[in-house]
Amino acid sequence: MILLFLEKNARIGEVRRNIQQRCAMRVIEPSFSIKGQVDARQILKNIEEAGRICYKSENLITEDSAEKFIGHIIARGHESVIEHEKITALIICDRGVTHEIVRHRIASYSQESTRYCNYSKNKFGNEITFIKPYFWAEDSDKYKLWLETMGTIEKSYMQLLELGATPEEARSILPNSLKTEIVVTMNLREWRHFFKLRTHEASHPQMREIARPMLDHFKQILPVVFDDIEY
């Protein structure tokens, strides 16, 4: 009985090694970057100029009055004023995460398309890239099973293309773990809403994995707008 168990495990291990050797798949961690230059001083100035129209208090604008004014209106819940400014970010994550991101409707999105991207082409390195599920250690049985499954999916995807399937047909077998890139533009009020929801303990762990570092970065860029959001 013990011998059979050991032989079975040896066969499973061999299968995993063979799959990894045959496949060129890549496994990466999620990341993000801010698109373009963010002029924090100008953003705060624009928000203050817009907000003071409400009170006809433009005469109170000084070189350093914007931060205090914006902190005051946010504390009062008068957040419509900060909708006048936006930030654009490039997020690299798995498609399961982007399914949740695009539920934020007051935003603009441009996402890598599995209909038109053929991952067998040279510009993709003739491979499929997957996002590592960080909640499983690399030496765990769960991670090894996930890795084996991703290798099988990549192999089957490439075979479908070889059999004449189009990328939009072959994508039907691609998993949530597929790496994708999405450009996200939100006004500052919507970014606040996004971070309040997506950094919360109740959000999906892979969403928190990308949203929390993003919030920390946004706090560095515009502390007066984001510093009150905690996780």
- Reported in sequence order, the residue ranges of 149-220 that DSSP labels E, i.e. its strands, are 179-187
Kindly provide the residue ranges of all beta strands, DSSP E only, lying in 157-225, ordered along the sequence: 179-187
Cβ pair 5, 184 in contact under 8 A: no
Q: 55: number of CA atoms within 13 Å, CB side? A: 13
Q: How many Cβ atoms from other residues are within 10 Å of residue 206's Cβ?
A: 21
Q: Report the first-to-last Cα separation within the chain, whole angstroms.
A: 51
Rounded Cα–Cα distance for residues 192 and 72 (Å): 16
Q: Strand 31-34 and strand 108-111: pairing?
A: unpaired
76 is a catalytic site residue: no
Residue recorded with tokens 């798995």: 94
Residues 196, 104: Cα–Cα separation, whole Å: 12
CB-based contacts of 146: which residues, under 8 Å, 6+ apart? Answer: 133, 136, 177
Looking up tokens 């909640």 gives 135
List the catalytic residue out of 95, 189, 192, 198.
Answer: 198
Residue 88, both tokens? 């654009």
* Catalytic residue positions, numbered: 198
